[in-house]
């Protein structure tokens, strides 16, 4: 009953058919915002990076399919050979699998590598206090602003339902899925701000943030508290309360900052 009363407050009153159709399209707008042309000097590396973003940040769920090679090449502004080599590399690394036949294509593996089992990238920054501060300050600028801006916009019924469904998915997440679904909600809030380039900036910051969050334990009480904060943010956005949306996001970001500094600051 609690969920229904909250949904009534934000106006997510779509019927079963409309809700089903909305869920079927979940993820498409976010992938559109992230799959934008790469820089030609590092076309292969940036193609791999873009694909990793939509995998690691939960834009496509485990078992879900990537767009066809031709579409990826067009969106990213690279050759199909570059896309093919990128997919091959991520398949060998355990992120993707290919299927042939009428219903074939490229799909995320059901159990992709976890951050702790991935080989460390040679260009990864050390997790220092300065690095934590940089990530968190950029996050506050981007995400508090996104929440405020989103609350000033008018949404269709489908858009309202989609944002609410992101919140609902996260509240029922297992520990294994929590980071992915948390990232997906925050990207959806960035998308709701109505500035497509913002989604890419939030995604870049989120990749850095998640690398740090993956080094600290998931605390049951913190997850429950985060759920409450996420709900407050989404309700403020959907009821058009920009001041409350920004304040709730700022509080949420500050809570993450406290935990990261507590666990990861050098003694």
- Please check whether residues 142 and 103 belong to one and the same domain: no
Q: Are residues 91 and 199 in the same domain?
A: no
With contact defined as beta carbons under 8 Å apart, do 264 and 212 qualify?
Answer: yes
Task: Quote the pLDDT of residue 14.
Answer: 43
pLDDT digits (tens, 9 = 90+) for 216-266: 888 888 898 899 999 999 999 999 999 999 999 999 998 888 888 888 876
Quick check: helix, strand or coil at residue 43? helix
> What is the Cα–Cα distance from 12 to 8, expressed in whole angstroms?
6
Same domain, 111 and 144: no
**Is pLDDT above 70 for 162?**
yes
Lowest-pLDDT range of 80-84, 119-123, 184-188, 198-202: 119-123
Q: Are 219 and 141 members of one domain?
A: yes
Q: Are residues 130 and 233 in the same domain?
A: yes
Are 54 and 89 contained in the same domain?
yes
User: Do 111 and 125 fall into the same domain?
Assistant: no
Q: Are residues 225 and 201 in the same domain?
A: yes
Query: Domain ends where: 52, 86, 117?
Result: 117
pLDDT in tens, 54-106: 888 888 888 999 999 999 999 999 999 999 999 998 898 888 999 887 778 89
Q: Cβ contacts of residue 147 below 8 Å, gap of 6+?
A: 189, 193, 233, 236, 237, 245, 246, 248, 249
User: Is 52 found in the same domain as 19?
Assistant: no
Say what the pTM is: 0.72
32: domain CATH number is 1.10.10.10
Backbone φ and ψ of 125, nearest 5°: -75, 150
The confidence score (pLDDT) of residue 40 equals 84
The confidence score (pLDDT) of residue 30 equals 65
d(CA 251, CA 143): 11
170 and 249, same domain (yes or no): yes
Structural domain ending residue among the three candidates 81, 100, 117: 117
- Residue where one domain finishes, among candidates 70, 86, 117: 117
pLDDT digits (tens, 9 = 90+) for 3-45: 544 555 566 544 433 333 333 333 455 667 788 888 887 788 7
Looking at residue 251, which CATH number applies to its domain? 1.20.120.530
pLDDT per residue over 113-131, tens digit each? 765 444 444 445 568 888 8
Q: Are 253 and 143 in contact (CB under 8 A)?
A: yes
Domain that holds residue 172: 2-24+121-264
**What pLDDT shows up at residue 24?**
31
**H-helix segments, the chain:** 2-10, 16-24, 28-34, 43-56, 69-76, 80-92, 129-139, 145-151, 157-171, 175-192, 196-213, 220-238, 242-264
- Where on the phi/psi map is residue 161: left (φ > 0), alpha (ψ -120 to 50), or beta? alpha
One domain for residues 182 and 84: no
Integer Cα distance of 208 and 134 in angstroms: 10
> Which among 13-27, 99-113, 136-150, 174-188 has the top mean pLDDT?
136-150
Q: How far is CA 158 from the centre of its chain?
A: 19
Cβ–Cβ < 8 Å for 63, 71 = no
Residues 7 and 48 in one domain: no
Provide the pLDDT for residue 102.
77
pLDDT at 124: 56
pLDDT at 15: 40
Residue with the larger pLDDT of the pair 144 and 19: 144
> How many CA atoms lie within 13 Å of 42's alpha carbon, on the beta-carbon side?
5
* Count of the separate structural domains present in the chain: 2
Percent of the chain with pLDDT over 90: 50
């Amino acid at each position: 009953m609690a969920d229904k009363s909250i949904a009534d407050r934000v106006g997510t009153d779509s019927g079963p058919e409309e809700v089903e159709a909305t869920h079927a399209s979940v993820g498409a707008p976010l992938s559109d915002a992230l799959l934008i042309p790469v820089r030609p000097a590092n076309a292969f590396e940036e193609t791999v990076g873009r694909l990793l973003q939509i995998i690691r940040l939960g834009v496509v769920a485990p078992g879900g399919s990537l767009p066809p090679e031709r579409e990826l090449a067009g969106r990213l502004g690279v050759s199909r050979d570059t896309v093919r080599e990128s997919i091959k590399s991520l398949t060998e690394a355990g992120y993707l699998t290919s299927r042939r036949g009428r219903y074939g294509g490229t799909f995320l593996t059901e159990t992709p590598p976890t951050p702790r089992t991935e080989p460390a990238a040679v260009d990864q920054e050390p997790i220092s206090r300065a690095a934590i501060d940089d990530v968190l300050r950029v996050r506050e600028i981007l995400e508090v602003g996104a929440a405020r801006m989103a609350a000033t916009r008018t949404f269709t019924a489908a858009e309202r339902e989609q944002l609410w469904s992101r919140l609902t998915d996260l509240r029922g997440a297992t520990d294994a899925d929590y980071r992915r679904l948390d990232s997906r909600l925050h990207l959806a809030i960035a998308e709701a701000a109505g500035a497509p380039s913002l989604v890419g900036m939030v995604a870049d910051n989120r990749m850095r943030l998640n690398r740090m969050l993956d080094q600290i334990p998931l605390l049951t009480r913190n997850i429950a508290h985060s759920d409450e904060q996420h709900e407050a943010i989404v309700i403020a956005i959907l009821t058009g309360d920009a001041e409350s949306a920004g304040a709730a996001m700022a509080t949420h970001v500050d809570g993450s900052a406290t935990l990261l500094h507590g666990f990861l600051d050098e003694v």
